[in-house]
Amino acid sequence: MRLALVTGLFGFIPAMAIAQPMGDPEAGEQLYRACATCHEIGEGARNRAGPHLTGIVGRAAGAIEGFRYSSAIGASGLVWDVDMLSRYIEDPQGTMPGTRMAYRGMADSQQRSDLIAYLASFEAEEVAIPFELSPEAAAVLAVAPDMAYGEYLSAECTACHAAGDAGIPKIEGLDPELFVTAMVEYRSGERTHQVMEMVSGRLGDEEIASLAVFFQKAQ
Ligand code: HEC
Ligand code: HEC
């Protein structure tokens, strides 16, 4: 079980701090029928052919104790944010080659947004994300942040991050440790995303530290 192997810091953050799906949860409820044969969701949900999906938005992949995941999911190390969920639901095998989920995929992006909005309505109280702070992220967090500077720099970010597009994660209210970790991973190329690698590549430690504190407070 992965969770047990991770030592160090565990970040406890509310699922909604990670992502804000923009879809119609009522339409999503209908669409969930395609998932319900294998996945329970809601209070008291248990694992069936697939793991239960309560609190899935913001949940670490492969995190449900007692469910035997494929290594495609279990060893992926990723967190199910809106974007990753959308990609996985669109094309499970293409996104996570080797996954045991026998579901063909949902092509329509509006339907995926609706479905994810429905999934997000079952929030876990608290989501434990196995999470070890890297030395690089710790170094950024040690820099004294400057709120006003962070606000000034944020104008470039909100062009995308305030748009509420289902593919763009919400960063307001994000835990600074997660924020900084994401930014240094983009900057080093460990986490790949063309735009975010370019954006973070222009930022020094002080800029990232200041942005982290600004966005944490900007709700
Ligand atoms: C035929 C059964 C089946 C159907 C239908 C199905 N799933 Fe799955 N799902 C699985 C299995 C099995 C896994 C575990 C996959 C693995 O370990 O590779 C899984 C894993 C997942 C995960 C990862 C969970 C985790 O804890 O990391 C998500 C998210 C998910 N499914 C969402 C959905 C959604 C949304 C639908 C409907 C659109 C759906 N699934 C339809 C069987 C199914
Ligand atoms: C052109 C659009 C765009 C701009 C500009 C942009 N971002 Fe992003 N950002 C994205 C997208 C898309 C993702 C999701 C990438 C992925 O899947 O890893 C993302 C991801 C992130 C994440 C990871 C969030 C998570 O939940 O994992 C952080 C943190 C972030 N951006 C911060 C910023 C900051 C800070 C700025 C400004 C300095 C910025 N972004 C500018 C589009 C943008």
pLDDT tens string 23-47: 999 999 999 999 999 999 998 899 9
| pLDDT at residue 72, rounded to an integer | 95
Residue 13 has pLDDT above 70, yes or no: no
Domain extents in the chain: 8-130, 135-217
Structure tokens at 128: 């434990």
Cβ burial 50-68 (10 Å sphere, 16+ → b, else e) = bbbbbbbbbbbbbbbeebe
Tokens of 116: 């994810």
Q: Report, at the CATH architecture level, how domain 135-217 is classified.
A: Orthogonal Bundle (1.10)
3-class SS of residue 79: strand
CA distance 180 to 160: 18
Q: What is the pLDDT of residue 116?
A: 96
Any atom of ligand 1 within 6 Å of the Cβ of 79: no
Asked if 94 and 166 count as a contact pair (C-beta separation under 8 A), the reply is: no
Structure tokens given for 170: 């919400």
pTM: 0.52
Lowest mean pLDDT, pick from 15-29, 57-71, 140-154, 195-209: 15-29
Q: Is the CB of 213 under 6 A from ligand 1?
A: no
Q: Which residue has the tokens 């222009």?
A: 202
| Ligand 2 neighbour 38 (Cβ under 6 A) | no
pLDDT at residue 25, as a whole number: 94
Pick the CATH number of 8-130 from 3.40.50.300, 1.25.40.10, 1.10.760.10, 3.40.50.720: 1.10.760.10
Of the listed ligands, the closest to the CA of 28 is 1
Pocket probe mutation, ligand 1, options 30, 39, 82, max atoms within 8 Å of Cβ: 39
Question: 209 alpha carbon to ligand 2 midpoint, in Å?
Answer: 15
Predicted confidence (pLDDT) at residue 5 exceeds the cutoff of 60 = no
Indicate which ligand has the atom closest to the C-alpha of 190. 2
Whether 8-130 shares its CATH topology with 135-217 is answered yes
Query: Residue with the nearest Cα to atom 27 of ligand 2?
Result: 182
The answer, yes or no, to whether any atom of ligand 2 lies below 6 A from the CB of 29, is: no
Q: Is 121 in the pocket of ligand 1 (CB under 6 A)?
A: no
Ligand 1 site, residue 73, Cβ cutoff 6 A: yes
The span from the CA of 56 to the CA of 63, in Å, is: 10
The residue whose C-alpha atom lies closest to atom 40 belonging to ligand 1 is 35
Task: Say how many Å lie between the CA of residue 50 and the centre of ligand 1.
Answer: 5
| Ligand 1 in reach of 101 Cβ (< 6 A) | yes
